[in-house]
Amino acid sequence: MKLFAYTLRPFDELPFLEEVCNELNIEFDWTSDAPTLDNADLAAGADALSIITNPMTSGLLDRYHELGIKAIGTRSIGYDHIDLAHAQKVGIRIAHAVYPPEGVANYTIMLMLMALRNMKLIMNHNEVQDFSLVGKLGRDISSCTVGVVGTGAIGSCVIRHLTGFGCRILAYDPFEREDIAQLATYVDLDTLLAESDVVTLHAPALPVNHHMIATPQFARMKQGAVLVNAARGSLVDTEALLDTLESGHLAGAALDTIENETNLYYLDKSREVLPNRDRAALMALPNVIVSPHMAFYTKEDVRDMVFSTTQALLAFCNEQDSPLEVR
């Protein structure tokens, strides 16, 4: 198999791609640029593509199909950036990545703790030598009820790790798990929102979940609650979130992902005016943390993202099945 990788980061992903390709006897080439119609010919002669969260439109898929690409693997768990229906139409198989849930789960808990302890305000004041205590009184997570929306691999890991803090844990998922029912109390979403001091989202970016937390849901949340989102930006209606924060109904939010973040992460935009007013508004609030979609970013997770997608692509090119195929 010959592989071409787009948007490959030389400082972390490249060594892992070299390792797995040497192990599996795969020929590969790469670029740090995102795939476009202008650079699609870079993949000429390849059997498969490795991408990350780059939009794969019908036009791009048609071009790669013309070039003989049989499969595309995205080095991410999410795959909503790929036109799956069109990929299936032209016969390109799609794979996504898997990696250990601990990285995102522990980052999520870090965000909870930072939000509950007002760390953004504390650190901002610390930088200007304001060491006062006014307005910085925090909450102990051990005294809180934490509601976990989505009990897949990452949500379940969050719940397992939260048990060490001694907090009350509620869970919501259309498909309840017996093992998690021993650690958390499954309730409907309205009950979870009404009773939780912290609500953390771990649902997939399916159409049915678009804006699953919007104005009606914010109204049901407890006064002074905190929202955490380290899953997908599309789960939260950003305009409704801003309205709720500005009203004082929520105590804060900690977000690793927001709407309309495509083409922002993971690039140096420090010299540019960003076309994302919602992000600017959120960043301006002293009780809102916005990190740049970094929850996955551990050595263990990056390695598994590269290895798992490459292995799936090799299986596809050998006309074999893979559990990572997206249909």
Catalytic residue flag (residue 232)? yes
- Would residue 295 be called left, alpha or beta, if left means φ above 0 and alpha means ψ between -120 and 50 degrees? alpha
Structure tokens at 19: 């390792």
- Give the list of residues 6+ apart from residue 131 with CB closer than 8 angstroms, or none: 125
Q: Which letter, b or e, does each residue of 96-116 get, where b requires 16 or more Cβ atoms within 10 Å of its Cβ?
A: bbbbbbbbbbebbbbbbbbbb
> Phi then psi for 322, rounded to 5 degrees?
-145, 140
Selection from 17, 6, 26 nearest residue 315 by Cα: 26
CB under 8 Å to 112, separation ≥6 — which residues? 141, 146, 198, 200, 226, 228, 254
Strand partners for 147: 170, 199
**Catalytic: which of 13, 195, 261, 279?**
261
Task: Reply yes or no on whether 261 is catalytic.
Answer: yes
Given a contact cutoff of 8 angstroms between Cβ atoms, the answer to whether 244 and 217 are in contact is: no
Burial class (CB within 10 angstroms; exposed 0-12, middle 13-18, buried 19+) of 314 = buried
φ, ψ (nearest 5 deg) of residue 251: -80, -20
Residue in 75, 96, 125, 293 annotated catalytic: 293
Catalytic residue among 232, 259, 279, 303: 232
* Residue 211 designated active-site: no
Task: Answer whether 231's CB lies under 8 Å from 203's CB.
Answer: yes
Cβ–Cβ under 8 Å, residues 231 and 259: no
Residue holding tokens 């989505």?
150
**Can you tell me which residue has the tokens 């969050």?**
158
The amino acid occupying position 196 is S
The answer to whether 114 and 289 have CB atoms below 8 angstroms apart is yes
Active site residues: 232, 261, 293
